[in-house]
Structure 1
Amino acid sequence: MEEVKRGSKPDFVLSDDEILRFGTRLCVPNDEDLRRELLEEAHCSKFAIHPGGTKMYKDLRQNYWWSGMKRDIAQFMAQCLVCQQVKAEHQRPVGSLQPLAIPEWKWEHITMDFVIGLPRTLGGNNAIWVIVDRLTKSAHFLPMKVNFSLNRLASLYVKETVRMHGVLVSIVSDRDPRFTSRFWHSLQKALGTKLSFSTAFHPQTDGQSERVIQVLEDLLRACILDLQGNWDDHLPLVEFAYNNSFQASIGMSPFEALYGRKCRSPICWNDVGERKLLGPELVQLIVEKLVLIKERLKAAQSRHKSYADHRRRDLEFEVGDHVFLKVSPMKSMMRFGRKENLVLALWVRLKY
């Protein structure tokens, strides 16, 4: 204050009523409580409603000044719980990609998901149960009704999966209520199958099923446009076409990975002919293909991890840290359509 009176601080002005200004802006004293009250009014009041750091700084600097204002605003913003819960994330995703382990044998580790919202057919079906082997990429597409009981689903599972491939070691799926039910848990526990669920609203965990569903939907659309009729009438041939076509990740068709060679079809009948493989020869061929599949899957996973990690950032957590989990699938407000609740992020403390 004395320096201002002596004129050694030309940027500062002391008015007649002993109010210190920096140019035309009011100087805020070095009082932590006063500055915090000012920051809360500029950020949390009904007339501000949690603006961003830059907006808040631009608004405050028009009328106020203190040393380190921008730093204090940034620290205040970083500690605002409401902003962390509701603001959109503009940074790269956190954490490197962690691929699932490559299975040792066929149809021991699978993924599954449902395709719903399909047109109801004459048979009453309006959904498809997609079950995919994680090693050979072979799949079953099971037509069903959305309102199937859990008993009916269990019967379908045993009939179409256990009957064909035996009891599974593990199943990766999303948190569909059917998969998280006590009945489904009890069934798989009795069979000795481990259930692994993806994090809520994080479909990348079961990316295999999501990708197969994309292919399935394309095949169904093509069938309906070319052949007409109900989609469930074409589903058996759609399943055959998928399993008998080349898959980039394994470098062959799922049928070839599963049986040692592609299945006979009108376009590849001459590949089969009268040629026969003896038992030891066939076993050796299957073992060689299995080794090749694992090598190709490992290369594909490494390639995908490299692509994904390039767009991500590292962040390490420690026991006791607090983190937010995404608990709502909504990415933006709904202007029209059904009403939705705004669900806030969930505050979770890491315990392990």
Structure 2
Amino acid sequence: MFLPYSWILDSNPIDSFFQGLVGASGISVLCNLMRVYHFTQTISDSESETESKPRSSSPDNPLRGNWKDVLQFWSLAVLLSLVGSRVSSLIVLEFSLRVVSAWVSAGLDANGRGLDRLLIQSQFSLGCGLTCTLVFLHQGAPHSSLSLFLAAALSWALSSASYDLWSHVARLYPLHSTERYCGKCINLLTSGHTILASLQKAVILAFALATVASTTTIYDHFLSQKDALKFWTPLTLCYTMLVVYIQEDQNRHTGTEALMHTVLLRLGALLVLMLTVGDWSDVLHILITFLGEAVCLLPSQDLLQAALKDEEDTSLSKSSHKTRERTKKTSSDHN
């Protein structure tokens, strides 16, 4: 006996698929542009350190197999279309709480240390934010399917353009950045360092809109009942303490295993929460998010290693700058 799709999906399957496609496209744009940024910065740093002969391709062959990218994209589209708006809203609010906790616990300094890691971790949460925002905006709309189709088409175009840019950069940027006859590579050479800041602003805007939509959804589905606040207040406080603990533990351990451990703790806590106040469809959606986080994080090892390397380089440059300042001060005192 098969379960009706309404037990799994909040809306009809076509609308859910379009929403998942928008979410997967947003994740794809984020990852592709982050790869472009790190690759161009690595090439620029290597060229500034030593004058070597031009190379026609990346020494590490950063491009993955095309079928792997296609498989990841469609897997995310399907998983995001299956996650309901209630669980998506919880994922968005949980990630927003983690970001605030990171700032409060001084996990991010004035120079933005740790922002790369947060962007990497935000992939599936960003997809959930886009889907729950679309659900919120299209509630009661007479032509919601058409609007979602147009949004999915636009998102698909942006995702394809970002992947084409990343493919071009990975294959030809080392050569074009020295020969200077490619418009794309010249623009990246002059303004590529601003990509990360632009991504951060876009992600912040997306999460700001998603937080509004998520808060409304959570209130309608969980907090509108009588005496609901009496039950949710202690749960929220306990979960906030868990998020703070996870953030402090992650600041101490920054490897891939630490990220996966953090995912298990976070989603495990959400699973317990849904077993307490949700229904069985919410529990199923939490289990789906485990797969979604794995599909996002496991192929992102190159981004994580690049982010950790940038943090190490920043720390070394700061320590060397402080050493020079102390040396200058000591020499001036002796004089």
Range of TM-score over shorter length: under 0.3
Larger radius of gyration: 1
Q: Which structure exhibits the higher relative contact order, with contacts defined as CA atoms closer than 8 Å and separated by 6 or more residues? A: 2
Give TM-score scaled by structure 2 length: 0.25
